[in-house]
Structure 1
């Protein structure tokens, strides 16, 4: 990545926006990004000034947190909403980094592979936040005497998995709390061994409390999406999921996220076009794909399987949006009425379905956007959990004699 491209990412500007502000053509900006030409020092200095302006505008925050396996920043938005201030971000995917930079104003460089980051180089923080991948742990050959309370004990069990990096950072910094997210079947993964290792490491070896709850995003957005939410504190603070406010599905439907196509919203990019901001025809399924999906569904229905496409209208609660949505969109297809082929969601509708507001910028291709929103958390779910966590975090970080981090 060229210095210019890195700086442009940190400003959050698109190529057209950069061209307008810098006073050069879009062609110049593209050539600078590709390293085919070198911009003048004045251009680089202007970008650095813009970045510094954003840095100085960042609020102080009631507590600090780090954002690991950050994706496009869904968990960060949740913690921000509770008054947190992010002091470190790690995300290895370059396209996700681009979206993250476009939406968050602190503009510090994003650390790539967390496995290559020394825990001592991560700033002190009050809360560790992570949506880590679900990976099996090998427990063969770990002796009982080494399994508890020793670094090499959990190294043997979790080394080579990304959860190990969560553990080593927790051990080094001892933050007041953590918030971890994973798929619903984490508890049953690898016949329950995966979650058993996670529970034991966090509680018996690191001494944190652990509270788990499976929450369906349909309580907040029109999407059935169950995820396990793990919250822990360095000391017992009285935290309880019983205080969680879940409103249920009543009155919620896909109409809340679909483009109205009646002129009440402005057209956006290539998602919607014309005075009425109608969804572009590019999102309508071809005859060939629609016929294939119907045939595939009929075949599996005849065999007694539940596989097939998911068709929604304004009153529906959708299936889970997945990272494979870019392939055919089959899990969530929007009905266009009898006799018409359905369409995929636009990336903006996917953003809404995950709880991102319309100010959230989408600077990547549709393919990348579908992957990113499919991999994201449903923001309102975790905003509610962060709201619940906040007084317990502050109880630990503001207690007399304890230093507040940050």
Structure 2
């Protein structure tokens, strides 16, 4: 269902019907569709309302209970900032003493919502008419927040003391959305963001986590963020929003709160002052934000460990140490990577559940898992393999996850 279906939801009949429904359950969607049509609602309205109810349920992972009072487009929800991360964005503007914020390319309004919650005066600008309508609904509870439909690059910033941007990084077609990787192909492009920063404006911009270090402007702080192990974004901060002495950072948010690792200098591949050595008693897998920020060597040093290979983000260490920046595994055995031998090992050890992690090897874990388990019987045991390189050697490290 295209996102233009939201227009049906925003009629009085559609809005009342949407808010009369309980939580969306896939197993009951067919019956609910039939019942609503029997009650006299048009097929188009029913389809639109059920689509929106499904999006609300999906949005709970990002917005919690707020999702039940919001409206969404599929692309808008996909790119929207998680509410707990948006709150951290907004806090930067508060700490910098910025009051009047322009949110350029606001999408469905997630970051504008967080700014408004912290009593900032927010003007959210969105080019797409349907998405702007969604943002208007989502920001209605905050009188100091308003939505303007228009081009972010043409918006007059006179009187604003801070700017936030979340450029569109996907193209939408009838077959779905496609990710864009070139920062100059974003809407608006990174060069536009830099032009605002060059004017002295405090600017924050959300980028995809895959942005290469060489594409980073020289006058910003780059902060990679992960939530529960999922790297969600790289945020660039300019001028008053940039922290002194921080060039790159990894912010790791998990069940026990947030932890951050920072560096004052640019990332220089191969220039880290850390040893490379053999597999040790424990193997650590750094968080994705740490890897993206180029801070693996910093974590290795903090653990008293070393890299297993200078080009691969696995750390070996002699002792178990608790860290929010990496997941720990106890090493049980190191085997050469040989599919036939591994298959025999799986069968001999009665392994029926096999987790496979890999770095630095052109192996598809799902295909290898199927290959190793086929014909081995459904054994009662579970095992974890880490496939990687040690210099020129390919190995399979048998590990046991350490429960935090």
TM-score by length of 1: 0.33
TM-score by length of 2: 0.34
Which one has a larger percent strand, Structure 1 or Structure 2?
2
Bigger-Rg structure (1/2) = 2
